[in-house]
Amino acid sequence: MYRITAAFSLLYGLAGLFWTFGGAGFPFGVEHDPGARWASLLENARPGTTGPAIAVVGLFGAVLAIVMKRIDDAHRMLATTAWTLAFTLTVVIPDYRPLLAVVRAPMLLAGAPFGWPEDVGLSDYPRLFLPWPVANQLLLMLGGLLWAATALAYQRRVRGACGGCGRTASTSEEETRAAALRWGRRAVAVAVAVPVFYALTRWAFALGIPLGVSREGLQKEARESPGIWLAGAMLATMGAGGAVLTLGLVQRWGEVYPRWIPFLRGKPVRPRTAIVPASLVAILVTSAGLMYLRLLILGQFEIEAQTWGLYVPELFWPLWGAALGGAALAYHVRRRGPCPHCERPALIRTIR
């Protein structure tokens, strides 16, 4: 893991050096990424100034990863720096467009047989929703996950825990599982409430109900951008569906397939079937939500009686992401089996 993270950092640092001297493909700043206007933290980035910074951070990251591999003593600064890189790359630099790219794909697939949207087809997807600057944000998210894995591996090693599962000789599996179920339920409650709140506003808009907006503004937006509220309702429905699935992280049917699912009824749910999508959504909604918080702080929009419905639900997305990530972690702790590395057994009990 350390070598992979070092390689990623070095290669991206070399890309920064390439962009510094006029190389093509610089993915930041409105001059190279028109979609960055007001959305991106690096809206004003330019190759001549941002490129060298990328090169320096990339080289620093490569050295840091190698140092972390070779040092066995606990150094708080090393772990803190690694986690800072992970957080910045995963949810701070990316904006809302990676989330949009992920959710638009199934929406276009579902609407294609019905000719919706009228002016956008599947062939337009890469150009509209996954151009290079957005793909680069997904690449940065991957790099952030590499740094998170590196920081976690380092912390486990220096405290004498298993590198595979994180358990130590003093770990009480039964107590750990019980605690995970308790805080997992709290996390699930939050991770369900936030998307349902968002969904209620978008369903209201699609039905012409001015919930948190003026009726005139609602109608004007519908005239200027036909289908916008239908698209919002579809996105809201996906969020509400995800909220229902989130309940499975603390329910028996999230561990054993229920009877009404053909071919799978009664079979155990593989943990990664729930953990991977939950973690992905947690990252995407957190980065999008932090963008809205940043815009609010910078005064790009104001929360008023006639506009709160447009913005307030999104301001809770970082809380949604944190809660969903916590719920997925709790589910992992409860469902993990015997560790193939340290051979510590697991106490797995299905919720009844």
- Binning pLDDT at 50, 70 and 90, where does residue 347 land? low
How do residues 12-22 score in pLDDT, each as one tens digit? 999 999 999 99
Supply the pLDDT for residue 343.
65
Q: Would you tell me how many other CB atoms lie within 10 Å of the CB of residue 123? A: 8
Supply the pLDDT for residue 350.
58
Examine residue 164 and state whether it is found in any structural domain, yes or no.
no
Q: Would you tell me how many other CB atoms lie within 10 Å of the CB of residue 351? A: 12
How high does pLDDT run on average in the chain?
92
Q: How many domains does the chain have?
A: 2
Examine residue 57 and state whether it is found in any structural domain, yes or no.
yes
Same domain, 219 and 153: no
User: What domain range includes position 254?
Assistant: 173-335
In sequence order, the β-bridge partners of residue 268 are 256
256: helix, strand or coil: strand
Examine residue 302 and state whether it is found in any structural domain, yes or no.
yes
Examine residue 352 and state whether it is found in any structural domain, yes or no.
no
Same domain, 197 and 323: yes
Examine residue 168 and state whether it is found in any structural domain, yes or no.
no
Supply the pLDDT for residue 352.
56
Same domain, 144 and 224: no
Is 312 exposed, middle or buried (CB count within 10 Å of its CB: 0-12, 13-18, 19+)?
middle
Examine residue 348 and state whether it is found in any structural domain, yes or no.
no
Please write down the long-range contacts of 131-134, taking CB distance under 8 Å and 24 or more positions apart: 131/33, 131/35, 132/25, 132/27, 133/27, 133/28, 133/32, 133/33, 133/35, 133/36, 133/97, 134/35, 134/97, 134/98, 134/101
Cα dihedral across residues 265, 271, 277, 279: positive or negative: positive
How do residues 162-213 score in pLDDT, each as one tens digit? 877 777 777 677 788 889 999 999 999 999 999 999 999 999 999 999 999 9
Residue 342 has pLDDT above 80, yes or no: no
Cα dihedral across residues 301, 302, 307, 312: positive or negative: positive
- Measured CA to CA, the distance from residue 96 to residue 134 in angstroms comes to 10
* Structural contact between residues 221 and 228, judged by C-beta atoms closer than 8 angstroms: yes
Is 256 exposed, middle or buried (CB count within 10 Å of its CB: 0-12, 13-18, 19+)?
middle
Examine residue 345 and state whether it is found in any structural domain, yes or no.
no
Same domain, 231 and 308: yes
Closest CA to 98 of 242, 231, 284, 292: 284
Q: How far is CA 281 from CA 68, 150, 195, in A?
A: 29, 21, 11
284: helix, strand or coil: helix
Residue type, 98: P
Same domain, 153 and 180: no
- Measured CA to CA, the distance from residue 319 to residue 316 in angstroms comes to 5
